[in-house]
Structure 1
Amino acid sequence: MNAAQNAYQWKALQLKARHQVYTLLSGHNLSKLHGEGYDFSELREYQIGDDIRKINWTISAKLGKPYIKELHANRELSVVVAALMDASLYFGSGNAKQVKLTEVATVLGYAAQQNSDLFTGVSYTQHRTDATPPTKQLYHIEQFSKTLFEASLLNTVLDQNTAIQDLFKRVYKPSLIFILGDFLEEVDLSLLAQKHEVIAVIIRDREEESPRKLGEVTLSSPQENKKIDTYFGQRSREKYLARLQAHDEALREHFARYDIRSVKIFTDDEVVSRLTRLFI
């Protein structure tokens, strides 16, 4: 793919993500918290244990009962999108998983900006880490999207647990953290989950979970640039699926143990239809 085609594809992805957020996600903003703040939320009758300083004496005198004003919390939600990226995002004949990961990250960035939340994007590859400042500006969100889309990943292997340790040190403020990757390697999110609300977004290709019998075939590793001639028949398929299912079951148990929500998005899925429940 030449530079012009690459730029066109990224621009189309960006426009698609923006359309999904500003039309399909409209009205699904994250709920504001009650607490100390400046924006009126609701008027309700005083209950034992409420702070008496919140009593609105004028309204209470008119209604004959003590009433308090609840205010929206004067706090911003910190949204962090962290992408774990290496050559495993290449599957089959191309990098469809990388493209889908970029789309998911872009949708999350636009959604945070629409909701007036602080957005931070962090991408981890074998050779570098890129991060935006905490921002509400579309420029930084779109540059982060471009960084993910253009990342050169062939023949790279990411140490994911080292990346997660770096993320823990990097994000000081309690945040809503989305971890994006294919989660085909073991990764420990327990440290992050102690301080933050963590959501794992698993990017997969359907054929990774339901491979065909290929017979005589040459398989190549995008991470190590190695090729092997083999026979991938029914027995090989069953062995592969058993290992994948065991891995994914261990992953689900890890998420359940540390209260980590997760969603799986395939390369042919509509992103918003899979993410909508996270915004309700």
Structure 2
Amino acid sequence: MDKKIKKILIKTKRQVFSEISGNNPSIFKGEGFNFIELREYLPGDDVKKIDWLISAKLQKPYVKVYQEERELNIIVAFMLNGSMYFGSVEFKHIIAAAAGAIIGFSAIKNQDSFSYYIFADKLYKSIKSTKNINAIQEMIENIANFNPLGKSDNFKDLTKRLFKIKRKSLIFIISDFLEDFDFKLLSKKHEVIAIIIRDRLEEEPKEFGFVNLIDPQSGDSAVLDMDSYTKNEYKKEIKRKDHFMYEHFKKNRIRFTKIYTDEEPFIKLLKLFGRR
């Protein structure tokens, strides 16, 4: 086994099985999916559970009450296009593998069903739902050995495939989200959580002067003067893309976290799910 793969496997497994304690053995809790009743809205209730049609008729806010399912269906979908093969500290796709492993081990520990999809311009690998812990090692190996260079993203096909999953699921989509995407319909059927993987150099580039840049998706190259003007224009474009991303997540009630290549995925995921 490759040393990098072994390190991810040992570290993430130890974190999940040794460092997560308490009554809830998982770092996440999905929404309850079995509807029981309607009741009046109380301060602190999740507004996502408000039944707007009933509320409008009764002139009071009412929420749907659910009974949490004993078993969750956890899906981790990786978008490994060319830009994921980058990192000033660690490659983004390796950080993605670690984040996916933490989610996978947590699902297995909690006796939830787990499956994963490796996507770029098309589907490269997927497995059916399983509770077999060996699936986590297989996933890490597939991602670590995957070459994103020269591959474009295809969020449209990914979301179509995920939407077809019949059972309502807790879906983690892991990507750098530097390209356009639309999770509006997907988030209506499933609970979607976005894990953003970035390198700080992508958001705060340095003034390198003349550099030869290569597009990791198309392979095209160009000489560019990375002076203060170019740097500022680049940052404006990144902020524009991120503004769309955050607004899209907010509008569609998609939880998210951003993990940089110099950060610990385990800590960021714990914070995302409200565990300290």
TM-score by structure 2 length?
A: 0.80
Structure-1 residue corresponding to 2:59: none
Per-residue deviation, 1:34: 8.4
Q: Is residue 96 from structure 1 mapped to residue 91 from structure 2 by the alignment?
A: yes
Contact 1:84 1:158 (8 Å CA) reproduced: yes
Cα distance in 2, alignment partners of residues 195 and 96 from structure 1: 32
Contact 1:24 1:272 (8 Å CA) reproduced: no
Q: Is residue 166 from structure 1 mapped to residue 161 from structure 2 by the alignment?
A: yes
Structure of higher CA gyration radius: 1
Contact 1:79 1:112 (8 Å CA) reproduced: yes
Q: How does 1:122-137 map to 2 (within 5 A)?
A: 122-137=117-132
Structure 1 gaps of 5+ residues are 37-71
Cα distance in 1, alignment partners of residues 236 and 33 from structure 2: 49
2:116 to 91, 97, 121: 121
Contact 1:132 1:144 (8 Å CA) reproduced: no
- CA deviation string 1:6-44 (max 9, x = no partner): x111111111111111122233534598899xxxxxxxx
Cα distance in 2, alignment partners of residues 20 and 110 from structure 1: 9
CA RMSD of aligned residues (A): 2.3
2:245 to 239, 251, 254: 251
Per-residue deviation, 1:222: 1.5
Per-residue deviation, 1:91: 2.3
2:259 to 258, 265, 280: 265
Q: Is residue 140 from structure 1 mapped to residue 140 from structure 2 by the alignment?
A: no
> Residues 111 and 84 (structure 1 numbering): CA distance in 2 closer, same or farther, change over 3 Å?
same
Cα distance in 2, alignment partners of residues 153 and 31 from structure 1: 31
4+ long deviations beyond 4 Å: 30-36, 92-95
Contact 2:88 2:201 (8 Å CA) reproduced: no
1:130 partner SS: strand
2:212 to 213, 218, 221: 218
Per-residue deviation, 1:133: 1.3
Contact 2:77 2:116 (8 Å CA) reproduced: yes
TM-score by structure 1 length?
A: 0.79
1:80 partner SS: strand
Per-residue deviation, 1:87: 0.9
